[in-house]
Amino acid sequence: MKKICILSLDGGGIRGIITCIILKYIEERLQELDHPHAKLGDYFDMVAGSSTGGLITSILLCPGENSKAKHSVTRGLELYSKKGEDIFQVSFWQKLINPFGLFSEKISQEALEKNLVDFFGTIELRELIKPCLITSYDIENRRAKLFNSVEASRQSTDNFLVKDVCRATSAAPTYFSPVQIQSMYGQTFSLIDGGMFANNPALCAYAEARKMPFAEIFKNHQKPNHPVVNDMIIVSIGTGAEAKPYSFKSLENAGKIAGFPL
């Protein structure tokens, strides 16, 4: 295909399982129509993700043999269904001593960090098989920090361990603590969840794609360098929406200690 196909994945914590189910359906159709072992990471020119979407992005683009995707979407779905409870659940004891995340973060990061190490090991951002954009926010410099695998391949100041990128993009305030990570160059960044400014990273992906020489990256003259809007197809997948209404009375006296009636 001549157009640049971009996959954009929203944030949403454990609701990332919804994203995986949708992606699994798409991947299964590709396996029926194109190749029985098709993996979704091989079919998009760029993948973008915020928070839990950044984690799924990293799973889809993990390098396997011959620069092809290592994991199917099913692998990501397994991670959420088998490990999600350990990563995202708040225990009764934590609720008792730390109501509403008032005194510290709601969820311990230990389970998240252990699973990231087990899954990604020492894979670097520059090794991901396709251009990607994963969002986070730099709390010391008060600006977005965008992890871009193309830039990572060009200079060590933009290259990071994938496990650290995933930890940064998923560091939602009051749920997980902020994180300090180092680039392969040794520069330290203090980061929180990218969903704080771009829970839907589609527009960020569009802006970054405009700057990328895709024909050169893929060594394919049919792909456009620095594509414009008519050169792109963007598939944006969310994690559902809260449909429960709240009355004025139920929120009238709500505060940090009172909590939000979720």
Give catalytic residues, as residue numbers.
51, 193
Q: Is 177 helix (H, G, I), strand (E, B) or coil?
A: coil
Query: Of 54, 59, 24, which Cα lies nearest the Cα of 38?
Result: 24
- Measured CA to CA, the distance from residue 17 to residue 213 in angstroms comes to 33
Q: Which helix (H) or strand (E) holds 80?
A: helix 73-88
Q: Is the distance from CB of 147 to CB of 160 less than 8 angstroms?
A: yes
Q: How far apart are CA 62 and CA 222, in angstroms?
A: 25
Residue with tokens 């779905």: 77
Helices (H), 89-221: 92-97, 110-120, 149-154, 162-169, 195-198, 202-209, 214-218
- Hey, what are 83's tokens? 């490990």
Q: Give the SS3 label for residue 48.
A: strand
